[in-house]
């Protein structure tokens, strides 16, 4: 997951599958029930139909009807994310989550490569098909990770935003203890997280960002680290 800054715009990206260009970039991981009321309305965008599911602070637009089966899991992860955000001093916000019917549709809508799982810009999250995320075991992680990006402090450097988002979601639990990137500069790490360093796989870059973020949290705690970048 990356965070790119375009002015005040925050953008998070969660890599999904192996890149064709970077076959080492395999990243795979994983998610019940809310008592939230919902209404489904069939809407039309150009020629593409999508359904909408709405709760108090999350609007889900899904293009594949089968993704209805994943809504419970999304809501549970979202509820979990709200609780965790409050615990670290971040105020949950109303968010729109749009999930596409295929990797091709996702790529067309976001401009991101097919192996990216999700993108967050401001309060808008765009993801691959929910069923695909579920199959790959990363649905819960994706929701938590992107929820963090929707409210992260604006001045977080990219590497730290990605590291914290991965720790927040729990994705880092199975990371290797050594990344072989321990000595690189933060600027190099940022470049690698953007996929612009052919020598470094995205996975490696995410592991290293998480390792550094974890060290910061261990010495200072969430609130101190976050407050520094508000
Ligand atoms: Zn991210």
168 within 8 A of 144, measured Cβ to Cβ? yes
pLDDT tens-place string over residues 131-188? 999 999 999 999 999 999 999 999 999 999 999 999 999 999 999 999 999 999 999 9
Q: How far is the CA of 166 from the centre of ligand 1 (A)?
A: 7
- Report how far ligand 1's centroid is from the alpha carbon of 41 (Å): 30
pLDDT of residue 112: 93
Q: Which two tokens stand for residue 225?
A: 């680290």
Max CA distance (Å), the chain: 52
Q: How confident is the model at residue 15 (pLDDT cuts 50, 70, 90)?
A: low
The C-alpha atoms of residue 74 and residue 67 are separated, in whole angstroms, by 10
Q: Where are the domains of the chain?
A: 2-228
Q: List the structure tokens of 80.
A: 């979990």
Residue 2 confidence (pLDDT): 41
114 pLDDT exceeds 60? yes
Residue 183 has a pLDDT of 97
- 144: CA distance to ligand 1 center in Å? 10
pLDDT band with cut points at 50, 70 and 90 for residue 12: low
Q: Give residue-wise pLDDT tens across range 56-82.
A: 999 999 999 999 999 999 999 999 999
Q: What per-residue confidence (pLDDT) applies to 19?
A: 32
Cα–ligand 1 centroid distance for 163 (angstroms)? 8
Q: What is the distance in A from the centroid of ligand 1 to the CA of 146?
A: 6
Rounded to the nearest whole angstrom, what is the distance from the C-alpha of residue 37 to the centroid of ligand 1? 29
pLDDT (tens digit per residue) in 196-209 = 999 999 999 999 99
Predicted local confidence at residue 51, as pLDDT: 97
CATH number given to 2-228: 1.10.390
């Amino acid at each position: 997951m990356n965070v790119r800054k375009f002015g005040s715009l925050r953008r998070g990206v969660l890599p999904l599958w192996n890149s064709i260009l970077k076959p080492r970039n395999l990243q795979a991981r994983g998610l019940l029930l809310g008592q939230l009321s919902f209404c489904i309305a069939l809407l039309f965008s150009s020629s593409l139909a999508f359904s909408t599911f709405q709760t108090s602070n999350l609007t889900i637009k899904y293009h594949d009807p089968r993704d209805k089966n994943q809504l419970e899991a999304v809501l549970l992860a979202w509820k979990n994310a709200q609780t965790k955000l409050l615990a670290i001093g971040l105020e949950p916000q109303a968010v729109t989550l749009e999930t596409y019917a295929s990797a091709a549709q996702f790529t067309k809508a976001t401009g991101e490569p097919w192996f990216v799982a999700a993108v967050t810009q401001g309060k808008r999250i765009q993801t691959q098909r929910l069923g695909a995320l579920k199959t790959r075991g990363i649905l819960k992680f994706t929701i938590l990770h992107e929820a963090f990006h929707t409210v992260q402090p604006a001045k977080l450097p990219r590497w730290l935003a990605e590291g914290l988002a991965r720790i927040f979601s729990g994705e880092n639990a199975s990371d290797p203890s050594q990344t072989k990137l321990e000595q690189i500069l933060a600027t190099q790490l940022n470049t690698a997280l953007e996929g612009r360093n052919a020598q470094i796989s995205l996975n490696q870059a995410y592991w290293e960002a998480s390792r550094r973020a974890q060290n910061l949290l261990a010495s200072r705690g969430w609130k101190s680290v976050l407050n520094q970048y508000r």
